[in-house]
Every structure is written in C-alpha cells, then in structure tokens.
Amino acid sequence: MNSEQKPRGYNWYTVTEDDLKYAPPYLRDVPETPKEVECKLAGTWPTWLHGSFLRVGVGRFTVPLSDDDSKPKAVFSIFLTPRRGMHLPQDKNPYSRGTQSANPATEEILVHSDWNIMQICDARTLEPKRLLTYAQIDPELAGYGSCAHPPHDHVAANPAALVWKSPLPCKPCYTHALAMTDKYVVFVRNPVHMDTSDTTKPLCDMMICEHDSPTQFFILDKTDGKHVGTYQSKNFYFFHTVNAYDYVDPTTGGVNIHVDIISYKDDHYPYSEYSIGNILDPLKPFQNGTLVRYQMDSVDRADLGKVGRVSIASAIAGLPCELPRISKPASMDSSYRYVYGVSGNGVPAPGTEVPIGRLGNGLKVVHSSFYGYLFKSDWQTGTFKLWKPQNGESCPSEPIFIQRPGATDEDDGIVISIMINREGTHSILIGLDGKTFEEVARADMPQVYALGPHGSFVEGDFGL
C-alpha cells in the first residue's frame, strides 16, 4: 500500500508480516535479557556515575494471530514513563503477583501511561508485579484518561492519597503532560479531543484536532487545587511540557508563570506519525516541534471572570525538537538554562546500514526515521548545540542529563542516550559531556535495544 492509497481509516498500528522486512532492528522483537550482561566500555565514564538507567521499550512487536498468517505489530508499549516506585495501596487485580514493597522508592519501578493504569515492576528483575488504576488510591479517581507525565513533588505521601480534585471549565481532551511550579499546577488544555463514537477505530483516528480552539492554560493553586486563573494563547498542540516556574515580575510586582513546551502547529496531531505504518511508509515529512516559552502575567491577581492572554516570552529558533529533558535541580527553577532532547526526525543518517521503511530498501536511500541528533539548548543565549552520530550510528534515544554530585554549574554532568550501531547488530549506550556536548564514553550493549519513548536515571543502589 503506498501513501496515496492509504485511507484515513488505515490501521496505522499494525503492519503485515511482509512489511516487517522494512523495519529496523529496534522496531522488531528483541530477545528478553533477564540476567545481567556485561557491556564493552570505551572512553572515560565518570567515576561518580552510579545508578540505574531505566527505559521503557517494546520488546515484542509481533503477536501471532490465531486464524491467519498475518501478525499485527504495535509501535509503542502503552507504558511510557518509568520512575521510582511509591507507596500504592493493595490492588484487587487477580493477575497481580507479589505485594507492595516496604521500600518502593528503591525496590520498585512505577510505569505511567496515557491511560488510567499503572504498572509496578520489581526494580532488580524488572518482572511485572502489579497493575492498578488511580481509583485504587481513591474511588474519586475512576475514569479512562490520565497523563503519562504527572509532575511530582519531592515529598511523597505514604500511602499515596488524593490531596485535591478540581473541576475545570473546559471540554475533555487528550493530554500527555501537566506542568507545575512552586506554587501552582498548570493544566494546559491540548486542543485535541477523542471522538469515542466508534471505539473500534485506531486511537490516532479518534483524536480530533480543534484547529479553531485557543489553547487554554488553567492555573490551580497547588496547595488546595483552587482554580485561580484562566489564560489562553493562539492554537497549538503538544505532547511534552519541559519545565515551568513562577517568579515575581519586577515591573508589576505580580507573580508570573512561564511554561516551556515543545509546541506543534499543523493540520493533524503528530501522534499518528509515530505509528508503525507511518514510520515504515511516511505519508509526508514528519512534523517538527519547537521549544517555546509561554508566559502568563500576574496570576496572583487573576480575575476568574476574565480570560488572560498568554504571550510568547521566548523560543529556540531553528531547532526541530522533541523528548525534552532538564537536570533534576532545574525543575521549577526560574534561572534554569539548559534543555536536552532529540532533533531531526526523519533526517538522513550518513553511513548507516540500517534501513527504515520502503525508501530504505531497494532505492539505496537510507534514513533515520526516528530522530537523527541530540540537542542541548540554552535559554540565556537562545542558541543550541547538536550532536550527530559520527560512525554510521543512528536513532539516538531521549537523552537523560545526570548532574555531577556537588556540581555548581547546571550543565556539569553527563548526558546518556542509546543508539543503534552502523550494522544494526547491537545498541550503544553513549555518554556526552554535559558542558561540551561531545562524546566522552560509550558502552556496546550485547543486544539491540527496542525503541521506546522515555527513561529515567535513578541514582544510587536502586534495585540492587
């Protein structure tokens, strides 16, 4: 099926077994590796670097069907964001195994998704233990949706509990991330809603962009959830918030908020571009997100009877970007400067022998469909650096910055990412110096790492 023949209702989540030959190794089944394996190291890994790098990957892309030879294939696991475990209640899921650890922050991994479901895995073996919903924390939290990136305070409740619940004066939407400052939670209403009239449709075809809707920002007091202000900007879409903070405006004396977002503006939501069918046979060039700083003025004096205006305080021009990360101490810090992420979706990967999609086979046009570069941007100067694989490697994953203990400079640390080697035979964990953004170390993994969107680095003896 070529792109002209793809009807809108084409199931972008599955491809036939015949089309699997167009998939790169990191979009195919990978062997389970339950035991620890050693990696071949090169370069100089920092001696202070000690911890666990958790990533969510797919593992199995093919699922045999019972009554024909075709095999469906999913592009992403529904579980998206891994982090340290927290104190969650017992669940009634009959398939759950094991019980809540007494020390979930060091012994369990909690994986969030876009839906009201959480998976708990053992931090050492990675074995899934439990599957529960937010309703098991509190029945008030029943429902379908959630967001894959809930912000979290450093002080976690034990046990987890509902602190507040706040109704918002807007239509339901699909949202992937919230934003939070010291004083406020900001719900940015992604102007995309789900058409649930036909639930047999693929998810991305249920997503309806509201091109004529402004993008609304609802400001909630973090202590009690009280809705204190509503602002809106011209229409844009997004997956990821990068950071947010509140600060006192020296000119007005009011409290302003900045929310930094990877912002999109096109005729469709980019979700569908990440489906397996489109990666192997792109309908058109991939959309590029832009790093934009949105500003709301005097939220402490906001009048709920009026809708305030969101202005654009800054943007990183000329940088296509996604999967943004910052240093942990930079979270909610008004003076933070640096954002790290992936750039160049669909750009060529010079020297790679890993083809992606039909253009990568037969025509000798090879390209890295899923991101080509890593970036580091600087809000203070408005500039950015790109890191490009040098030896035919491709598809670097979401970069994670780890700050050196005792660092005084925000970018004093190392950035880690996983890419595929030139031949596509194994993946490589790479380390870039946080300041220079140049490679300092690498580790050849014995196997291919299957692509997934997000990861976390947990310092210390996590899972040991």
| Residue 149, annotated as binding a ligand | no
Contact pattern from residue 148 through residue 177 relative to Fe ion, giving x for each residue in contact according to CB under 5 A and a dash for the rest: x-----------------------------
Nearer CB in complex with Fe ion: 81/278: 81
Site size toward Fe ion, by CB under 5 A: 1
Based on CB atoms, which residue is closest to Fe ion, 46 or 150? Answer: 150
Give the residue nearest to Fe ion (CB): 148
50 marked as binding residue: no
Q: Which of these segments, 140-148, 180-188, 189-197, 205-213, binds Fe ion (CB under 5 A)?
A: 140-148
Q: Which is nearer to Fe ion, 148 or 443 (CB)?
A: 148
Q: Are strands 179-180 and 215-221 parallel, antiparallel or unpaired?
A: unpaired
Nearer to Fe ion, 98 or 145 (CB): 145
In the bound state with Fe ion, the residue whose beta carbon lies nearer, of 96 and 290, is 290
Least Å distance, CB 391 to Fe ion, is 29
Distance of closest approach, residue 215 Cβ to Fe ion, in angstroms? 18
Q: Which stretch binds Fe ion (CB under 5 A): 118-126, 144-152, 190-198, 436-444?
A: 144-152
Segment lying near Fe ion (by CB under 5 A), choices 96-104, 142-150, 180-188, 301-309: 142-150
The C-alpha atoms of residue 448 and residue 100 are separated, in whole angstroms, by 32
Question: In this chain, which stretch among 135-143, 147-155, 371-379, 427-435 interacts with Fe ion, using CB under 5 A?
Answer: 147-155
In the complex, the smallest distance separating the C-beta of residue 80 from Fe ion, rounded to whole angstroms, is 5
Say how many C-beta atoms besides its own lie within 10 A of residue 49's C-beta.
17
User: Which lies closer to Fe ion via its Cβ, residue 148 or residue 192?
Assistant: 148
Minimum separation from the CB atom of position 322 to Fe ion (A): 9
Is 268 flagged in the annotation as binding?
no
Q: Which stretch binds Fe ion (CB under 5 A): 63-71, 107-115, 141-149, 424-432?
A: 141-149
Residues lying near Fe ion in the complex (CB under 5 A) are found at 148
Residues in the annotated binding site for Fe cation: 176, 240, 454
